[in-house]
Amino acid sequence: MMENGGYVGQYGGEESYMEQEEEWEREGLLDPAWEKQQKKTFTAWCNSHLRKAGTSIENIEDDFRNGLKLMLLLEVISGETLPKPDRGKMRFHKIANVNKALDFIASKGVKLVSIGAEEIVDGNLKMTLGMIWTIILRFAIQDISVEEMTAKEGLLLWCQRKTAPYKNVNVQNFHLSFKDGLAFCALIHRHRPDLIDYSKLSKDNPLENLNTAFDVAEKYLDIPRMLDPDDLINTPKPDERAIMTYVSCYYHAFQGAQQAETAANRICKVLKVNQENERLMEEYERLASDLLEWIRRTMPWLNSRQSDSTLAGVQKKLEEYRTYRRKHKPPRVEQKAKLETNFNTLQTKLRLSNRPAYMPTEGKMVSDITNSWKGLEHAEKAFEEWLLAETMRLERLEHLAQKFKHKADTHEDWTKGKEEMLQSQDYRNCKLNELKALKKKHEAFESDLAAHQDRVEQIAAIAQELNTLEYHDCASVNARCQRICDQWDRLGALTQRRRQGLDEAERILEKIDLLHLEFAKRAAPFNNWLDGAREDLVDMFIVHTMEEIQGLIQAHDQFKATLGEADKEFNVIIGLVRDAEAIVKQEQVPGGLVNPYTTLSADLISRKWSEVRALVPQRDQTLANELRKQQNNEMLRRQFAEKANAVGPWIERQMDAVTAIGMGISGSLEEQLHRLKEYEQAVYAYKPSIEELEKIHQAVQESMIFENRYTHYTMETLRVGWEQLLTSINRNINEVENQILTRDSKGITQEQLTEFRSSFNHFDKNRTGRLAPEEFKSCLVSLGYSIGKDKQGDMDFQRILAVVDPNASGYVQFDAFLDFMTRESTDTDTAEQVIDSFRILASDRPYILPDELRRELPPDQAEYCIQRMPPYKGPNAIPGALDYMSFSTALYGESDL
pLDDT score for 25? 53
Pair 306, 366 in one domain? yes
Look up residue 662 and give its amino acid: G
Is the pLDDT at 1 greater than 60? The verdict is no
Pair 388, 306 in one domain? yes
More confident residue, 824 or 369: 369
Lowest mean pLDDT among 107-121, 485-499, 512-526, 797-811: 512-526
Within 10 Å of residue 45's Cβ, how many Cβ atoms? 25
Pair 563, 459 in one domain? yes
Of 564, 436, 555, nearest to 505 (Cα)? 436
Residue 234 lies inside a defined structural domain of this protein? no
Of 219, 249, 323, nearest to 49 (Cα)? 249
Pair 299, 357 in one domain? yes
- What is the extent of the structural domain holding 297? 270-397
Residue 99 lies inside a defined structural domain of this protein? no
Residue 705 belongs to a domain with what CATH number? Answer: 1.20.58.60
Distance of CA 118 to the CA centre of its chain: 76
pLDDT score for 235? 87
For the CA atoms of 612, 613, 618, 622, what is the dihedral angle to 10 degrees?
Answer: 70
pLDDT score for 865? 92
Residue 53 · residue 81 · CB < 8 Å: no
Lowest mean pLDDT among 289-293, 590-594, 666-670: 590-594
Q: Render pLDDT for 196-215 as a digit per residue (tens, 0 to 9).
A: 999 899 999 999 999 999 99
Q: How many alpha carbons lie under 13 Å from residue 206 in its C-beta half-sphere?
A: 14
Of 563, 593, 597, 570, nearest to 581 (Cα)? 593
Residue 390 · residue 471 · CB < 8 Å: no
Residue 672 lies inside a defined structural domain of this protein? yes
Element (H, E) at 7: strand 7-8
User: At which of 600, 631, 663 does a domain end?
Assistant: 600
Residue 579 lies inside a defined structural domain of this protein? yes
The mean pLDDT of 804-822, rounded to a whole number, is: 82
Q: Render pLDDT for 252-307 as a digit per residue (tens, 0 to 9).
A: 888 766 667 677 777 888 888 888 888 888 988 999 999 899 999 999 988 988 87
Q: Is the Cα dihedral 777, 779, 780, 782 positive or negative?
A: positive
CA distance linking residue 191 with residue 216, whole number of Å: 13
Pair 330, 368 in one domain? yes
Q: Supply the DSSP symbol for 848.
A: B
Contacts (Cβ under 8 Å, ≥6 apart) of 137: 2, 5, 7, 11, 12, 110, 151
pLDDT score for 46? 93
Q: How many alpha carbons lie under 13 Å from residue 149 in its C-beta half-sphere?
A: 14
pLDDT score for 431? 60
Lowest mean pLDDT among 153-157, 415-419, 664-668: 664-668
The mean pLDDT of 811-834, rounded to a whole number, is: 75
The string of DSSP letters for 305-342 reads ----S-HHHHHHHHHHHHHIIIIIHHHHHHHHHHHHHH
The mean pLDDT of 505-519, rounded to a whole number, is: 60
Q: Render pLDDT for 530-585 as a digit per residue (tens, 0 to 9).
A: 888 888 887 777 777 778 778 888 888 887 888 888 888 889 888 877 887 776 67
Within 10 Å of residue 677's Cβ, how many Cβ atoms? 13
Pair 813, 876 in one domain? no
Is the pLDDT at 328 greater than 50? The verdict is yes
Residue 108 · residue 9 · CB < 8 Å: no
pLDDT score for 15? 44
pLDDT score for 169? 92
Look up residue 82 and give its amino acid: L
Specify the 3-state DSSP secondary structure of 628: helix
Element (H, E) at 561: helix 546-561
**Angle of the 669-685 helix axis to the 687-702 helix axis, nearest 10:** 40
Lowest mean pLDDT among 226-230, 538-542, 760-764: 538-542
- CB burial readout 431-445, b (16+ within 10 A) else e: eebbbbbbbbbbbbb
Residue 270 · residue 354 · CB < 8 Å: no
Task: Grade residue 28 by pLDDT with cuts at 50, 70 and 90.
Answer: very low
- Please state whether beta strands 7-8 and 812-813 pair in parallel, antiparallel, or not at all (unpaired): unpaired
Pair 299, 388 in one domain? yes
Pair 792, 875 in one domain? no
Is the pLDDT at 149 greater than 80? The verdict is no
Domain count, the chain: 4
Within 10 Å of residue 279's Cβ, how many Cβ atoms? 11
Contacts (Cβ under 8 Å, ≥6 apart) of 709: 637
Lowest mean pLDDT among 41-50, 619-628, 670-679, 745-754: 745-754
Instruction: Report the chain's mean pLDDT, rounded to a whole number.
Output: 82
Distance of CA 713 to the CA centre of its chain: 26
Of 586, 711, 552, nearest to 640 (Cα)? 711
Residue 680 lies inside a defined structural domain of this protein? yes
Specify the 3-state DSSP secondary structure of 263: helix
Distance of CA 851 to the CA centre of its chain: 44
**Angle of the 687-702 helix axis to the 715-746 helix axis, nearest 10:** 160
Residue 532 · residue 611 · CB < 8 Å: no
pTM of the model: 0.50
CA distance linking residue 371 with residue 53, whole number of Å: 78
The string of DSSP letters for 181-199 reads SHHHHHHHHHH-TTT--GG
pLDDT score for 554? 85
Q: Supply the DSSP symbol for 759.
A: H
Residue 620 lies inside a defined structural domain of this protein? no
Residue 507 lies inside a defined structural domain of this protein? yes
Specify the 3-state DSSP secondary structure of 705: coil
Q: What is the 3-state secondary structure (H, E, C) of 334-395?
A: HHHHHHHHHHHHHHHHHHHCCCCCCCCCCCCCHHHHHHHHHHHHHHHHHHHHHHHHHHHHHH
Q: How far apart are the first and last CA of the chain?
A: 48
The mean pLDDT of 230-257, rounded to a whole number, is: 85
CA distance linking residue 198 with residue 182, whole number of Å: 9
pLDDT score for 510? 46
Is the pLDDT at 825 greater than 70? The verdict is no
CA distance linking residue 824 with residue 827, whole number of Å: 8
User: At which of 397, 420, 452 does a domain end?
Assistant: 397
- CB burial readout 286-325, b (16+ within 10 A) else e: ebbeebbebbeebbeebeeeebeeebeebbebbeebbeee
Task: Grade residue 4 by pLDDT with cuts at 50, 70 and 90.
Answer: very low
Pair 320, 391 in one domain? yes
Is the pLDDT at 6 greater than 70? The verdict is no
Pair 865, 810 in one domain? no
Pair 802, 841 in one domain? no
CA distance linking residue 601 with residue 604, whole number of Å: 5
pLDDT above 90 as % of the chain: 13
Residue 364 lies inside a defined structural domain of this protein? yes
The string of DSSP letters for 406-473 reads HHHHHHHHHHTTHHHHHH--GGGG--HHHHHHHHHHHHHHHHHHHHHHHHHHHHHHHHHHHHHTT-TT
Query: In Å, how far are 153, 570, 654 from 578, measured between CA atoms?
Result: 135, 12, 84
User: At which of 600, 634, 656 does a domain end?
Assistant: 600
pLDDT score for 547? 80
Of 502, 319, 531, nearest to 407 (Cα)? 531
Q: Which of 77-81, 147-151, 469-473 has the highest mean pLDDT?
A: 77-81
pLDDT score for 310? 77
Task: Grade residue 655 by pLDDT with cuts at 50, 70 and 90.
Answer: confident
CA distance linking residue 338 with residue 730, whole number of Å: 8
pLDDT score for 184? 93
Radius of gyration of the chain (CA): 54
pLDDT score for 257? 66
pLDDT score for 427? 63
pLDDT score for 360? 92
Q: Render pLDDT for 420-477 as a digit per residue (tens, 0 to 9).
A: 888 887 766 666 567 678 888 888 888 888 888 888 888 899 888 888 877 878 888 8
Pair 750, 783 in one domain? yes
